Structure 1
Amino acid sequence: MSRFKMPTAYTILFSLIIVVAVATYLVPAGQYDYQDDVPVAGTYHAVEQNPQGAGDVVLAAFNGFYDAVDVCLFILMVGGFLGVVMKTGAVDAGVSNVIKKLGGREKWLIPILMVLFGLGGTSYGMWEETMAFYPLLIPIFLAAGYDAVVGISVILLGAGAGVICSTVNPFATGIAAGFAGVSLGEGILLRIVQWVVFEGAAIWYVMAYAAKVKKNPELSVVGRGHEVLHTKAGEAPELTGKRKGILVLFMLTFLVMIYGVIPFSDMGLPLPELGWWFPELSGLFLVSAILIGLIDRMEESAIAEEFVTGSADLLGVAFIIGISRGITVLMNEGRITDTVLHWGEDALTGTGSLAFILLVFLLYLPLSVLIPSSSGLATLSIPIVAPLGKFAEVSGALVITAFQSASGLVNIITPTAAVVMGALALGRVSYDRWVKYVWKLIVLFVLLTMAFLAVGALLGM
């Protein structure tokens, strides 16, 4: 008998679309009354069923693309940018030089980079933006003797641990705090301690796995089938002055990207705010690609050809993002999103403080699978859940901590998260291999979160 082979990310996502479509026939349709696009607690009512048929299933992915076109274009621009950069040989030369200088101390890249990504995650919700870093860092860790899972983990788990423990993240904590009627600073001490613990646990987990794989490559969850991406020091091009200049512009592009998306005013920092998002970031990578091509003295036709080729390399990732967004679109069209939320409202009513906050966390786990957007989930649910906490003597700040912990936790493993599926596609790691690798850390995060929430409820934080 042939062994079971895990289906591709596309099949997994289309299967979920079909499951959601079937659910629109079985789950009662309903809606809340909305005021300024925010649901009003206690106003849920039944509405006419709008089941999604075969045609809607086919169109779901296309509607998802329309909904996520800005993210998809950003991914293609990053691919084109990297295509031009890689043609210059600057990255290969730079990676070879870094590995040579580290001289066996490559393992320290793991905690350093994870802390940096963790700071981005906890401060401004660095998540979709991390997609630009996978094609850059995965080859570096492969060249250092690790597997693709290590490269993915440094970014995904580093930023993910930060997002789970969002301290001042305006896209999760900030939006939720506004709807809960509390300040961004309430509950921040608990979240800071939580971030230190979670980031430390993630770093320990990744470093332990990385050391095991480097010592015995056969223990890798994906095997050693990625050597084609390795940068061999003997074959690497020379790090010339021109290539150094390209690398400076290369890194400056990423720094500008990070600065451009940070909402300094929402974080209370007196710095000029650019307010960029995916359209502006796409333009940034396009302009940088052209400048790097000119510095390398490429012909106009060569720049265009390498840019298109690089974009094509990430086309599969753009497909995955669009398809995954189609799941949420189908739920909304089937009018079952508010029904699921209403079930949670019924389950939470009349519980004590400890039971309430733990139930809130457990409720948000499946909700985060169905609605991967933290800002979207906050907008839909916090206006309903936060007022219920008052009856259970649970602060709005603790409700927010439960919400963002569940949302961030689910988003590092769920197949409905575009970043997870996109990162795995870039690293050529199948979804089942990722689950096999990360499930123990997920269990640890769940237990730690419940412990933090229990302490917060008992201390009235």
Structure 2
Amino acid sequence: MTFKFPTAYTILFLLIALVAAGTWLVPAGQYDRIQSEALGKEIPVPGTYQQVDSNPQGVVDVFLAPIAGFYDPDSYEAAAIDVALFVIIIGGFLGVVKKTGAIDTAISREMVTLKGHEKWMIPILMALFAVGGTTYGMAEESLAFYALLIPVMIAVGYDAVVVVGIILLGAGIGTLGSTINPFATVIAANAADIPFTQGIGLRFFILFSGWLACVIYVMRYAAKVRANPELSIVADHRADIEAQFGKKTDAESVEKLTIAQKIVLVIFALTFAVMIWGVSSQGWWMAKMGALFIASAILIGFVTRMGEKTFTEVFIDGARDLLGVAIIIGIARGIVVIMDAGHMTDTILHLGEDTLSGLSSVVFINAMFGIEILMSFFVPSSSGLAVLSMPIMAPLADFSGVGRELVVTAFQSANGLVNLFNPTFAVVMGGLAIAKVPYERWLRFVWPLLLILCVIIMGGLSVVALSA
């Protein structure tokens, strides 16, 4: 019997069980916390760590964790439910758009225009996603672009892994090299008590060099797959992917777009443009983005005279297609629920505080990078990890002759790097689920690039630390 790597659902559930087992072994502890007016959240107070009564998580807690991952059952605060609902709404919206045939026809027409130059779509799109990552931490909202780009890349002879590379690596490298991202750089700098513009030169270097490394890596893979489709790491899944997203089209038999289809494409593009504007400048989150996509779907239904019954059916069918993705998002959040309930998070933070005391500048900043990598597995949220770790870690830089801005850069680089493959990060597991790329195949694809990015980041941190 051949071994088959487990699905994302099984991997995440096993991680929940593993973390729950850890709550029986890892000492429970907590920092005292004070309310920060600047951040609007409670932050840990350095030097106040103390052990507390343990709260080991049992079998019942393991099964409750995925449910609690969607919402806090005590306070009903939103956790992953807003993201999960957004993904389901996106599915419905895309189902309506797909029914019009506008996307398929436009893709086919575009292939005729770009024939021979399709490879330049990769660096251009990755640059656009990187801009979203570095300016406002583009993450969950990137999930909406998978179903748009997968048919395009399949039509030119690439595979779904290329699309994951463009979106996940593009937005991810932007977040890794955040320059003005309010959810990573600004929050972390505020918590470290420094202006967020300090250290921006190194962050620009990491952003550009990391983007270049990602572009070259994805383009080489894309060229290899296009020349020989059997070399695709998801070659055995190609039929399933094509069945859902469409097959390569014969350019000679392409029909022209109707007026209604052209209007649909305009609405489609404007919807994404408005979403990006709302998130980046108006503080929108999942509820308002979801409302936008519902409104756009209804508008498309009117424009194409789809009819109420047909509209409802295609919207529900599209939502059903992404239901599995929504479930994955809740399960991933369940890992963090177990960590917090078992009082493990502060213990890991305290271990980092003890480890870093008294180290030389270069050793300190690289050790800081390593500790933030470890913590990012358990706290994938950049804003959450910034609020949790920076009040403790940033002051330690003063004793090692390192600027606090370098600690902020180490934090955001580590968090961004881990979130390119982190199974506890809903954006990773959700994107792979939409693209039908198994998690272990993504790891096989991305691990050499992760090593390259590590060298770039650690080299930059070390050079700046030495010159301080």
TM-score in terms of structure 2 length: 0.94
Q: Which amino acid aligns with 2:21?
A: V
Residues in 2 aligned to 1:231 and 1:219: alpha-carbon distance in whole angstroms: 17
In structure 1, which of residues 406, 423, 438 is the aligned counterpart of residue 431 of structure 2? 423
What's the offset of the Cα at 1:151? 1.1
Corresponding residue SS for 2:233: coil
Which residue is 2:405 aligned to?
397
Please state how far the C-alpha of 1:231 moved relative to its aligned partner: 4.6
Amino acid at match of 2:99: K
1:87 paired to 2:87: no
- 2:208 aligned with 1:196: yes
1:379 alignment partner in structure 2: 387
Q: Deviations over 1:274-303 (max 9, x none)?
A: 221110000000000000011010111211
Total equivalences in the alignment: 449
Closer/same/farther in 2, CA of residues 163 and 127 from structure 1, 3 Å limit: same
Deviations 1:415-435 (A, max 9, x none): 111111111111111111111
CA contact (8 A) 1:165 1:194 kept: yes
Question: Given the superposition, is the C-alpha separation of residues 87 and 236 from structure 1 closer, same or farther in structure 2, using an over 3 Å criterion?
Answer: farther
Unaligned 5+ segments in structure 2 are: 36-41, 72-78
Q: Find the counterpart in structure 2 of residue 52 from structure 1.
A: 57
What is the aligned partner in structure 2 of residue 227 from structure 1? 242
Partner of 1:29: 28
1:438 to 432, 446, 449: 446
Matches of 1:358 and 1:199 in 2, distance apart? 21
> Do structure 1's residue 114 and structure 2's residue 114 form an aligned pair?
no
Q: What is the rounded CA distance, in whole Å, between the counterparts of 1:213 and 1:193 in structure 2?
A: 30
SS in 2 for 1:25: coil
* In structure 2, distance between residues paired with 1:308 and 1:376: 34
2:173, 2:416 within 8 Å by CA — same for their partners in 1?
yes
SS in 2 for 1:198: helix
In 1, Cα distance between equivalents of 2:437 and 2:394 = 39
Q: Say which of 250, 258, 266 aligns to 1:248.
A: 266
C-alpha separation between the residues in 2 aligned to 1:183 and 1:304?
A: 50
Q: Which residue of 2 aligns with 1:328?
A: 336
CA distance in 1: counterparts of 2:247 and 2:192, whole angstroms:
49
Query: 1:79 Cα deviation (Å)?
Result: 0.6
In the TM superposition, what is the alpha-carbon distance from 1:104 to its structure 2 partner?
2.2
Q: Look up the equivalent residue of 1:408 and give its one-letter code.
A: G
Q: Which residue of 2 aligns with 1:185?
A: 197
What displacement does 1:238 show? 3.5
The 8 Å contact of residues 92 and 231 in structure 1, kept in 2 or not, is answered as no
Identity of aligned residues (%): 54
Which of the residues 392, 408, 418 maps onto 1:410? 418
Deviates more, 1:229-238 or 1:353-362: 229-238
Structure 1: 4+ residue segments shifted above 6 A: none
The reply on whether 1:215 has 2:227 as its aligned counterpart is yes
User: What whole-Å deviation, never above 9, does each CA across 1:174-218 have from its counterpart, x for those lacking one?
Assistant: 100000011111000111111111101100000000001101111
Per-residue deviation, 1:3: 2.5
| Per-residue deviation, 1:237 | 5.2
Asked whether the 8 Å contact 1:348–1:359 carries over to 2, the reply is yes
* Superposed CA RMSD: 1.1
Q: How does 1:129-148 map to 2 (within 5 A)?
A: 129-148=141-160
1:42 pairs, out of 47, 57, 78, with 47
Deviations 1:89-111 (A, max 9, x none): 01111111111110121111101
Per the alignment, residue 278 of structure 2 pairs with 260
The answer for the alignment partner of 1:354 in structure 2 is 362
Letter aligned with residue 58 of structure 2? G
Partner Cα distance (1:341, 1:138) in 2:
40
DSSP-derived class of the 2:460 partner:
helix
* 1:383 match: secondary structure: helix
For residues 139-189 of structure 1, give each alpha carbon's deviation from its aligned partner in whole angstroms, at most 9, with x where no partner exists: 110111001100111111111111111011110001000000111110001
Distance 1:396 1:284 in 2: 40
SS at match of 1:133: helix
Distance 1:77 1:233 in 2: 32
* 1:236 Cα deviation from its structure 2 partner: 5.7
**Structure 1: runs of 5 or more not aligned:** 263-272
Q: Secondary structure at the match of 1:38?
A: strand
